[in-house]
Amino acid sequence: MSFIGRIKKSSLVSGIGVYFISGIMTAAIPFVLLPILTRYLEPEEYGEVAVFHVWVSLLGALCGLSVHGAAGRKYFDYKKPDSEIGEFIGSCLILLIVSSSVLFLLVAFFSQGLSELIGLSEFWLLIGIPFAFSSFLIQLRLGQWQVRKEAKKFGLFQVLYGLSNMLLSLQLVVVLFWGVDGRLSGLTVSILVFGVLAYFFLKKDGLVEIVWRPVLIMEAVRFGIPLIPHIIGAFLLLTIDRALISTVLGLEQAGYYMVAVQLSMILSVLMDAVNKAYVPWLYERLNRNKGSDKFLIVKITYWYYLFLMFISAVFFIWGDGIVVFFAGEKYAVSSSIVPWIVLAQVFRGMYLMVTNYIFFVRRTAVISLITFSFGSLNVFLVLFFMKLFGLIGAAWALCICMAFQWMVTWFYANKLFSMPWGLGVRGSIIK
């Protein structure tokens, strides 16, 4: 069978379609809410919502110690995972309960100082813990559907969660005029409800067995703890630039930059959809350790890289028209930034294709070191380049960091799990 024929008959293509559609629907919800909420919330209130998002993102790295990813990787170690993985998932939940309890006590003790530091009330600081707890359960449930290639269940759950968030927020903010508390309540109630549902579906499928197994707990910890710097590094790489622009260049310039970021989000959704479908397909073939599978994987990777570069070229050629068409003339300043933000997203997509090998061999400390290093570098380069080149300097800094993150990750991925990237030698795992 031809190369193209093998791809068409695989589960990879159908999975990407489902993930892409659900991802687009989920990603569209913030765009629908944005023009509505900005008319009912004052700028200071909208800023409080943004701070809450940052707060729960940081808590998410600590609640459960990011071991939900370990359960997804563990699935491929069992011959009969549906009947054998319950104890491991139970161990992950024990870690979630213990770490969340400790974190709650710490936040409660330091709540007054934290409230003054970041501008959130003590109530919402503490609510962040059950928020992050529920987020872990949702990611755990989605991850188990993902590795089983149950993309439709994954997509339906994701879309329903997003819709509940939107409808509840609209009811509380627009109808009941609860202001910022309405938006934060909508976010919190929806994630708590779907966190409970996520646990229910895990139990329903027989995937949870709470038993004290220190060996399994330590295995999950060894996977999850090294990822915490990775998550913080990702925050420095993907989010901090907007705060730095606002501080150094002002809110207007941050607005132009945000428009560029939002226009690049469709590509981000596509890449995440590809990766969600690709990971279980990839891990199955890496487990088989066959040369023919590895050559197919490399060919798919190179074709995907060409596709991403083509999209980047489109934005460099027609970026001006795209920005004006979607955002209007008043955001024409964003036209010079969009192609570089899109190119940065392309490098991120390339990075996702190679970082999976490091996850496969459980060397998550390597990923954390790389991400944290380039996240820290990004902070320095954004500040330095903005002083020299203005707003576009921030986009250039992001591009440089994303490109080097991809190349360095590719280098170490091949050292840990050799693949025939030259299409001339057969890859083999390095123990």
Separation between Cα atoms, residue 162 and residue 292, nearest integer Å? 40
327 assigned to some structural domain: yes
417 phi, psi to nearest 5 deg: -145, 95
Same domain? For 183 and 73 the reply is: yes
The dihedral built from the CA positions of residue 329, 334, 338 and 341, taken in this order, carries a sign that is negative
Q: For position 251, what pLDDT does the model report?
A: 58
Same domain? For 249 and 221 the reply is: no
| Contact status, residue 381 vs residue 400, Cβ threshold 8 Å | yes
Per-residue pLDDT averaged across 246-265, rounded? Answer: 72
Separation between Cα atoms, residue 118 and residue 124, nearest integer Å? 11
Which comes out higher in pLDDT, residue 169 or 39? 169
Q: Which of 230-234, 383-387, 420-424 has the highest mean pLDDT?
A: 383-387
- Asked if the model's pLDDT at residue 46 lies above 70, the reply is no
The whole-model pTM stands at 0.68
Neighbours of 205 (CB within 10 A): 15
Q: How many domains does the chain have?
A: 2
The strand pairing partners of 429, in sequence order, are: 417
66 assigned to some structural domain: yes
Same domain? For 63 and 205 the reply is: yes
Domain boundary among the residues 194, 225, 256 is at 225
Domain boundary among the residues 174, 197, 225 is at 225
Separation between Cα atoms, residue 71 and residue 54, nearest integer Å? 25
Same domain? For 272 and 406 the reply is: yes
- Dmax (CA) for the chain in angstroms is 65
Separation between Cα atoms, residue 174 and residue 40, nearest integer Å? 7
Same domain? For 215 and 323 the reply is: no
Write out pLDDT tens, residues 368-392: 889 899 999 999 999 999 999 998 9
115 assigned to some structural domain: yes
Same domain? For 189 and 284 the reply is: no
Same domain? For 255 and 315 the reply is: yes
Q: What share of the chain has pLDDT > 70, as a percent? A: 83
Domain boundary among the residues 197, 225, 253 is at 225
Q: For position 15, what pLDDT does the model report?
A: 57
4 assigned to some structural domain: no
Same domain? For 283 and 402 the reply is: yes
7 assigned to some structural domain: no
Same domain? For 400 and 267 the reply is: yes
Same domain? For 303 and 219 the reply is: no
Separation between Cα atoms, residue 184 and residue 169, nearest integer Å? 8
19 assigned to some structural domain: no
Supply the range of the domain harboring residue 206: 28-225
Q: For position 345, what pLDDT does the model report?
A: 93
